[in-house]
């Protein structure tokens, strides 16, 4: 392929550019914002919230950027294993999962190292500019229209066109791909939404030697509290670079956390022991930053009958689900791997990428299934209910309960939480039978 253009230079765009550098002579990352070499640029507003990298996401990060874990750790990130990674359900600490590793680092730090690696690739270059629309012709996307947003060589406002064999939409939740497709005489992908009304608040603390054997602590409500955040305070903290703790609190509707530091600390003290301890012993640095996440969304390209060739979509532009489950970065990495498999199979870039969308649809389905089943347990979330929801919810409750007391069920459960396995693996007779045995022996 001669040229691929990736619209959006955040995490999904960076992964896509990495994959495309194996297949195209020229990969252009078109990014509207100045994202900054060191991760201090503007970028997506949620970048400053705590971002957990699931174990599957970490595996793919290392797959695409070998040695990056060592580089991040050398730069101050922590790598948690065994009991350093702590998951609590309804206040009860689960047994550690052998072999599970989680990286402790902020998103801007991870992303800046990924960006550095991608931009060092000989075939990849960045163009500072906003994509304004697609160029269509002969049943395919031929390229993109853009306007520059400030560069020494091309000052803001300069309009241009870029021909490409493949265009990748990585413009995040605000992607206007649907509108552009309609304008070009195509259909847009059906949008599925689930209103969840989630509030997030993140704060950073100076880290000393108060919890030397903790890298990640994560607390969520479960069946014992009826999944009620008001009864079992959800929160998480991660040891990150520059000797800091990053702490996030979450809540729905009226229980959304605010920006008042005293309220934040009071809420941390109602959470599990590690968060309580950080609230008591560590100094809060800077402001509490909030984020309101109204709804989970996904666009299902596999339901379209016709689609132009030369176009794929990745990252939040395809699916953006409840961030509490920490799936976004991992989903972007898995979609990049789907794109790689699609291109390696020799699929012509100018043809509609049905095979890519089918592969990516499987991982999006898995992420959606996990988050939607759990979100529907909230009284204020009222659908849409998927087929078989009651059974899935009942089995999910039982497996969650059993995972607190049994390491084997916990392993199966955490494989799904970390996107290593599809949620349907939890309904295998082996896992269900083990959960039933464990619960009846209580």
Ligand X SMILES: Cc1cc2nc3c(=O)[nH]c(=O)nc-3n(C[C@H](O)[C@H](O)[C@H](O)COP(=O)(O)OP(=O)(O)OC[C@H]3O[C@@H](n4cnc5c(N)ncnc54)[C@H](O)[C@@H]3O)c2cc1C
Residues that bind ligand X (CB under 6 A): 7-13, 30-33, 43-44, 46, 49-52, 130-131, 170-172, 174, 200, 291, 293, 315-316, 320, 323, 326-330, 332
> Quick one: residue 85, left, alpha or beta (phi over 0 = left, psi -120 to 50 = alpha)?
beta
* In the complex, least distance from residue 220 CB atom to ligand X, rounded to whole angstroms: 13
HEC string of 376-421? Answer: CCCCCCCCCCCCCHHHHHHHHHHHHHHHHHCHHHHHHHHHHHCCCC
* In the complex, least distance from residue 408 CB atom to ligand X, rounded to whole angstroms: 27
* In the complex, least distance from residue 356 CB atom to ligand X, rounded to whole angstroms: 16
Nearer to ligand X, 337 or 438 (CB): 337
* In the complex, least distance from residue 301 CB atom to ligand X, rounded to whole angstroms: 15
Nearer to ligand X, 46 or 220 (CB): 46
- If DSSP codes are grouped into helix, strand and coil, which group holds residue 310? coil
* In the complex, least distance from residue 28 CB atom to ligand X, rounded to whole angstroms: 11
Nearer to ligand X, 46 or 214 (CB): 46
Residue with tokens 């702490």: 247
Cβ pair 303, 354 in contact under 8 A:
no
Which residue sits closest to ligand X, CB atoms considered? 328
Nearer to ligand X, 360 or 402 (CB): 360
CA distance 275 to 214: 11
Nearest to 401 by CA among 226, 262, 247: 226
* In the complex, least distance from residue 331 CB atom to ligand X, rounded to whole angstroms: 6
Nearer to ligand X, 104 or 323 (CB): 323
C-alpha atoms less than 13 angstroms from C-alpha of 323 in its C-beta half-sphere: 26
Nearer to ligand X, 218 or 398 (CB): 218
* In the complex, least distance from residue 434 CB atom to ligand X, rounded to whole angstroms: 29
Nearer to ligand X, 130 or 393 (CB): 130
Distances, alpha carbon 89 to alpha carbons 153, 217, 226, 292, 377, in Å:
54, 11, 11, 24, 15
CA distance 221 to 87: 11
């Amino acid at each position: 392929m001669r040229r691929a253009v990736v619209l959006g230079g955040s995490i999904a765009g960076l992964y896509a550019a990495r994959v495309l550098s194996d297949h195209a002579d020229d990969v252009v990352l078109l990014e509207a914002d100045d994202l900054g070499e060191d991760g201090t640029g503007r970028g997506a507003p949620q970048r400053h919230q705590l971002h957990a990298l699931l174990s599957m996401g970490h595996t793919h990060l290392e797959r695409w950027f070998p040695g990056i874990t060592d580089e991040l750790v050398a730069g101050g990130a922590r790598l948690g294993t065994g009991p350093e990674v702590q998951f609590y359900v309804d206040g009860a600490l689960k047994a550690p999962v052998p072999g599970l590793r989680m990286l402790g680092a902020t998103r801007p730090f991870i992303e800046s190292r990924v960006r550095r690696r991608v931009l060092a690739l000989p075939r990849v270059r960045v163009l500072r500019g906003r994509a304004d629309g697609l160029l269509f012709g002969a049943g395919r996307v031929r390229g993109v229209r853009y306007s520059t947003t400030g560069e020494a060589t091309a000052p803001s406002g300069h309009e241009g066109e870029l021909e490409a064999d493949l265009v990748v939409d990585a413009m995040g939740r605000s992607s206007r791909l649907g509108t552009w497709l309609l304008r070009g005489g195509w259909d847009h992908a059906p949008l599925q939404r689930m209103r969840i009304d989630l509030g997030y608040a993140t704060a950073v603390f100076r880290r000393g030697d108060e919890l030397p054997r903790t890298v990640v602590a994560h607390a969520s409500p479960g069946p014992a509290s009826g999944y009620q955040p008001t009864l079992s305070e959800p929160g998480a903290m991660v040891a990150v670079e520059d000797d800091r703790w990053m702490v996030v609190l979450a809540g729905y509707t009226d229980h959304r956390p605010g920006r008042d530091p005293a309220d934040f600390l009071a809420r941390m003290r109602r959470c599990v022991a590690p968060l309580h301890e950080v609230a008591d012993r560590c100094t809060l640095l800077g402001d509490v930053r909030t984020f309101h996440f109204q709804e989970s969304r996904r666009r299902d390209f596999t339901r379209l009958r016709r689609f132009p060739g030369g176009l794929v979509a990745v990252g939040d532009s395809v699916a953006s689900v409840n961030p509490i489950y920490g799936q976004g970065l991992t989903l972007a990495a898995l979609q990049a791997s789907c794109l790689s498999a699609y291109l390696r199979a020799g699929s012509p870039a100018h043809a509609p990428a049905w095979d890519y969308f089918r592969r990516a649809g499987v991982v999006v389905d898995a992420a959606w299934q996990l988050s939607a089943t759990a979100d529907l347990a909230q009284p204020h979330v009222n659908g849409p209910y998927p087929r078989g929801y009651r059974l899935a919810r009942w089995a999910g409750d039982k497996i969650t309960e059993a995972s607190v007391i049994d390491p084997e069920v916990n392993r199966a459960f955490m494989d799904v939480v970390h996107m290593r396995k599809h949620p349907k693996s939890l309904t295998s007779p082996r896992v269900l039978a083990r959960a039933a045995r464990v619960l009846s022996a209580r």
